[in-house]
Amino acid sequence: MTDSNQTCDVGQESVPYMTCLIHILEAWFDVEQLEDYLNFANYLLWVFTPLILLILPYFTIFLLYLTIIFLHIYKRKNVLKEAYSHNLWDGARKTVATLWDGHAAVWHGYEVHGMEKIPEEGPALIIFYHGAIPIDFYYFMAKIFIHKGRTCRVVADHFVFKIPGFSLLLDVFCALHGPREKCVEILRSGHLLAISPGGVREALISDETYNIIWGNRKGFAQVAIDAKVPIIPMFTQNIREGFRSLGGTRLFRWLYEKFRYPFAPMYGGFPVKLRTYLGDPIPYDPKITAEELAEKTKNAVQALIDKHQRIPGNIMSALLERFQKKQKIN
């Protein structure tokens, strides 16, 4: 039916192969004007793809609110148990951690390399690179709680505490915005604490080149020195390919510097492979200064980026890498 010119005969006419295929499908499914339906479907795909890419980042925020709703329900359901148990929220934390761990596995094939470097007990300060959305840290906290049975406290930007409805979420998962003395107290009490020195500025301004934007910040280093704890560097591969921010543009950068709120839009939600790498702990050294420790930690995080991240990052390459490897395994 098909010749070397990819044509076929329909009645008395020779038509292109694709047209012939459409005629065959129309006869097979007993549907008329199938080509019009296909053109319409292609048009819808063209129209809605940008919308989907813009909506996916906010799906993460939706999950956070879903978590908050669950915590409120859990709190009401267990109001009688609160008087008898000092661990009211452990069941809620475990359920939420399981939900986020499931999302991490399905959507990003999330992995943590170097989990053994997190102590089973005792304090440590985890220093991490901040993506446009720190979804990797949400996944990491879930892994820590599930596999180590530990809650990792985290220092969050002040604006997060002003988001309506977030107070319960932040309380249950032990988020704080400082000050330095509070961070030292938490570490001296034997807890894990995580800080991203780049914070919101790094989230907005850094890009697919994965440049570290810490400025002259060394407060985290002073916290580690005062608490006499090791620092564990952390970086997640492809975190910028999962979500991107337009915060580096002149307008949105000016808005952030002016109002200290992340007004910049984000896009993404791409199901790229995410792997969190934990570097070798930097032990407490009473002879080192905060400036020297901050620089040493920055170099350790940069070494993880150099070793595990393709520079510049590429969304399509990250997607192909994940799904091609998945096909080979299958």
In order, the DSSP letters of 140-169 are HHHHHHHHH---EEEE--GGGGGSTTHHHH
Is-cis flag, bond preceding 179, omega within 30?
Answer: yes
Gap between the Cα atoms of 309 and 313, Å rounded: 7
**Ordered alpha helix ranges (H), 78-154:** 90-108, 135-148
**Residue keyed to tokens 């790498």:** 277
Q: CB neighbours (10 Å) of residue 316?
A: 10
Task: Give the pair of three-digit tokens for residue 317.
Answer: 């390459």
Instruction: Based on the residue annotation, tell me whether 103 is a catalytic residue of this protein.
Output: no
Residue type at position 57:
P
String of b and e for 262-298 (b: at least 16 CB within 10 Å)?
A: bebebbbbbebbbbbbbbebbeeeeebebeebbeebb
Contact 7, 16 (CB under 8 A): yes
CA 126 vs. chain centroid, Å, equals: 16
Distance CA 270, CA 274 (A): 11
Q: What is the rounded CA–CA span in Å between residue 145 and residue 152?
A: 8
Catalytic residue among 103, 113, 130, 308: 130
d(C-alpha 267, C-alpha 57), whole Å: 6
As annotated, the active-site residues are 130
